[in-house]
A and B are shown apart, each in its own frame.
Chain A
Amino acid sequence: MDTEPLTKLDRSYSTVMRIEGLLTLVPLLIAGLVLYATSVIPAWVPGVVLALAALVLVFYLPTKRFRSRGYHMSDDRLRVVKGVMFHADTVVPFSRVQHLDVEQNPLERMFGIARLILHTAGTHNASVTLPGLAHDNAITMREAIRAHVKRESL
């Protein structure tokens, strides 16, 4: 069961991660501008640091993250794989799902993607999040899991 091919996430998810990386750069950018203006250190230093940070946060990490993530949905369980450095490979059987959430933040809404969150009664992995799904797809998956939960408990 661990050999099945993982479904990749929506392409716009990596764009969203790049934009999020850009947003985390903003405080750094301000600090860099201040340092540049006060000229305590050579003017090129903040520029180089910023460029490096941008390279990591906007290009390298989102690409790696996107590649490392994936999921596989079979008819009675969902497998979520993630992690660049620290790998986690989680399987939640639908029969243990307590409730389901589909969430979108403004940025995700702009790109039409959503996060699917599965809640279980366990202390560990009480909620398993699968980000970067096309919104329609997330809704379809939620309905499928809900139908399964409902059918089983009838």
Chain B
Amino acid sequence: MHEWLRVNPLSMAVQMLRTLGSAIVPAAVVIFGAGTQDSEKFAEIAPWIIPILVLIIGFNLLGTWLGWVRLRYRVGEADVRVEQGILSRQARSVPYERIQDVSLEQKLIPRLLGLVEVKFETGAGGKEELKLSYVSEAEGEKLRETVRALVEGEMTRPAVPAEGEEVPTAPEPAGEMLFAMDTRRLFLFGLFNFSLVVFAVLIGALQQFEFLLPFDLWDYLADLIKDDRISEAGDALAGYTLVAQIAAIAYAVFAVVVVGMASGVVRTFVQDWEFRLDRTPKGFRRRRGLLTKTDVVMPVHRVQALVLKTGVIRRRFGWYGLSFISLAQDAGSANHEVAPFAKMAEIAPIVREAGFSLPDEDTDWRRASADFYFDRAVLQALVPGTAALVLIVLGYTLVSLLLAGLAAVLMVGEYFLWRFVRHALDPQQVMSRIGWLAPRWKIANRVKLHSVEIAQGPLARWRGYCTLRFGLAGGRLAFRGLRLEDARAMRAAVLDSIAVVDFAHLPR
């Protein structure tokens, strides 16, 4: 297994398709645009189009082939190496002891061709990871097993394995299923994932491809206003009976809600199709995705903290989402979703497997300083409140009342935040609960924290509260507006837990 290898030749096809896709479509659009606008000039350049396209494709082919020839990788004794680059060479080596995990990803085209992208995660956090695109599915699985076995070996015995020693490459044991989402669950999840992004996308696309429309959109809109056609539409609406007006508004709202829910469902289906979380001997294995299939393994001991969240409405029905904070990145976000939409009864076993415990009735939840939220309420209500006073003197009663209402809402919001934002400390964990209508819990292991800071601004010092911040690998954990004595007590307790366990002795 120590020889240099090339990636699967089919990855050239993927590369070609991708570059051609990104080159041909704009080219076609340009040609189409030129053809419709100025047919004389178009006739002049027309004979050249085909040779130019052939040339572009030829160059692409050559580049892709050279790139493939010049890319090689090796799974060696102490590291994984990848060398690439046509003229300027780049050689990257990642030692086994730094590899956090190997994950496989399949986008649509590679999936059709039976290829996977292998990522060696080093926990560098957002930095460039070592990637191999693409190898065959079987080869990817084998690579993952080999590297994992070597990583484990590196962990248990620091010595380099002897030359020729057989590396066990047993297939991934099936493991026990912890959580899965069927189509019905996905559909329900999608309904809660209500999103109006589709409208933004439509408007964006309209701006981008406006020139393809048979009429000028902005002129059309300008005409609409200039010719009073818009007020005609308004008149038409005003001409309806009250019932018809209400029906029209209800219809509009209904349409928006339906579109929002439909786009939520589509997005959820694409991302979480066949979501499945297994507990394997090596950790948590998560598979999901409709077009881009991903297969990620998170070792249990790398879980730094848990995040449990819910939404304003889904909370009423008992739905929660669980994710892990770990060193490795997950599709751009630092949290690994392990149960995006589940009942508490389904979440509890996952939490237990990860070595954490959920807060229960015995948890000693504490509130932050009331002064902190009082100050915040005053500061937030200051501007609208003052404006309301000034305006009422000037005689704008309605606006003034609206502003006063806003100030009141802000203050009530702070009151509820004071009531609902809490923190707790148990013998193993630090817990926080933030948010009022859509609460969010963070649970961190005391031993896995790295530093503790008590920070105070001028106001906080005067009023005697502070922010308590913990150094957490891969995430943030802060408690705002704690009473100073509370923060000091928490810091002392946590520091004592940290100090007794050395970093090197943390379970790896």
Contacts and interface: CB of A to CB of B under 8 A. Distances in A.
Contacts of A96: 449-451, 471, 498, 503
Contact of A88 (B455, B458, B474): B455
Interface string B491-508: 110010011111111000
A95 B450 CA distance: 9
Interface in B440-455: 449-455
Interface in A127-154: 128, 149, 152-153
Nearest to A151: B502
B455 A91 contact: no
Contact of B469 (A76, A94, A125, A153): A125
Contact of A122 (B450, B456, B458, B492): B450
A153 B451 contact: no
Nearest to A154: B504
A24 interface: no
A125 B503 contact: no
A144 B151 CA distance: 32
Contact of A120 (B457, B471, B500): B471
Q: How large is the interface on B (under 10, 10 to 19, 20 to 34, 35 or more residues)?
A: 20 to 34
Chain A, interface size: which category?
Answer: 20 to 34
Contact of B453 (A90, A93, A153): A90
A90 B505 CA distance: 23
Interface in A96-119: 96-98
Contacts of A1: 492, 495
B476 A93 contact: no
A128 to B, nearest CB: 7
A86 B450 contact: no
A77 interface: yes
Given A2-B488, A123-B475, A124-B453, A85 B458 contact: yes
Contacts of B257: none
Given A2-B488, A86-B458, A121-B473, A91 B495 contact: yes
B470 interface: yes
Interface of A: 1-2, 76-77, 83, 85-98, 120-126, 128, 149, 152-153
Interface of B: 449-458, 461, 466, 469-478, 488, 491-492, 495, 498-505
